[in-house]
Amino acid sequence: NAFPQSLTVDLGSAKTVGRLVLKLPAGWGARTENLSVLGSTNNSSYTTLKASAGYTFDPGSADTVTVGLTPTSTRYLRLTFTANTGWPAGQLSELEAYAS
């Protein structure tokens, strides 16, 4: 129940990532989560791929948001949550990573 909170995902090997699709369970109430996206090839040194911004999840858009990134080769993705208007913690049920 305290920010910041983070989620780190290992893609298994370096992949080009240019877009993330973030999902909450369908039907959850609308909320805005502030988060940043970081990337790493070694899980120790991270660079910012997307600065912190607010993303609004809404039932009208299937509680799904898209985060555009400059295509970058990375193995590890880290989402750092700093605020959430719907709950005092970062919330995410699915993370999809695409090259473009």
CA 64 – CA 54 distance, rounded (Å): 13
CA 35 – CA 30 distance, rounded (Å): 16
If you average pLDDT over residues 5-11, what whole number do you get?
A: 98
- Given a cut of 90, whether residue 27 has pLDDT beyond it is no
Are 68 and 19 spatial neighbours (Cβ–Cβ below 8 Å)?
yes
Query: Structure tokens of 73?
Result: 């080769």
- Distance from chain centroid for Cα 97: 10
The CATH number linked to 12 is: 2.60.120.260
- Given a cut of 90, whether residue 2 has pLDDT beyond it is no
Range of the domain at 45: 5-98
If you average pLDDT over residues 13-31, what whole number do you get?
A: 96
> pLDDT digit string (tens) for 33-91?
999 999 999 999 999 999 999 999 999 999 999 999 999 999 999 999 999 999 999 99
| Residue 1, pLDDT score | 66
Number of domains comprising the chain: 1
pTM (predicted TM-score)? 0.94
CA 89 – CA 87 distance, rounded (Å): 6
| Residue 25, pLDDT score | 96
